[in-house]
Chain A
Amino acid sequence: MPTVPIVPSTPQTVPAAVIASNVTEAVLIAAYAEWNGAAASGDFLPCLEIYSDAGIRMCRVFPSTTVKAGDSAVVSYAPFPGGIGQKTITSIGSLMAGQVQIAGDFTVNTGDPGTVITWSSATFDNGSPTAFWDPANPHRLNAPVNGVYLSMINLIWDNNTVQMTGGQFATYLYHNTETVGFTTSFKKQNSSQFAQAYEFPGASHGAFVLNAGDYLIVNAYCNTGTTPMPPATVALLDLRTHAGQPPLFCHWSLILVAAL
Chain B
Amino acid sequence: MATDQLLSTMPQITLEPRYKVQFSAISPTTGAAITGVTVANIALTTLQTAQFEDTQPQPVAPIWVAIPLQDQ
Contacts of A12 in B (CB 8 A): 38-40, 54, 56
9-residue interface stretch from A63-71, A111-119, A206-214: A63-71
Residue of B nearest to A51 (CB): B20
* Count of A interface residues, CB-CB < 8 Å: 81
Mark the stretch among A54-62, A138-146, A170-178, A185-193 that contacts chain B.
A54-62
- Do residues B28 and A32 form an inter-chain contact, with CB atoms below 8 A? no
Mark the stretch among A35-43, A230-238, A251-259 that contacts chain B. Answer: A35-43
Query: Residue on A with the closest CB to B4?
Result: A73
What sequence of 0s and 1s flags, for each residue 210-246 of chain A, a beta carbon within 8 Å of any chain B beta carbon?
0000000000000000000000000000000000000
Given A16-B22, A21-B52, A79-B12, answer yes or no on A29-B41 (Cβ-Cβ < 8 Å): no
Among B20-63, those with CB < 8 Å from A are 20-28, 33-56
Chain B: residues with Cβ within 8 Å of the partner, total of 52
State the Cβ distance, A1 to closest chain B Cβ, in Å.
Answer: 6
- A interface, CB within 8 angstroms of B: 1-53, 58-59, 61-80, 84, 87-91
Starting from the known contacts A52-B16, A53-B20, 6 additional A-B residue pairs (CB-CB under 8 Å) come to A12-B56, A14-B24, A14-B39, A36-B39, A58-B13, A64-B8
User: Which B residues lie at the A interface, using CB under 8 A?
Assistant: 1-28, 33-56
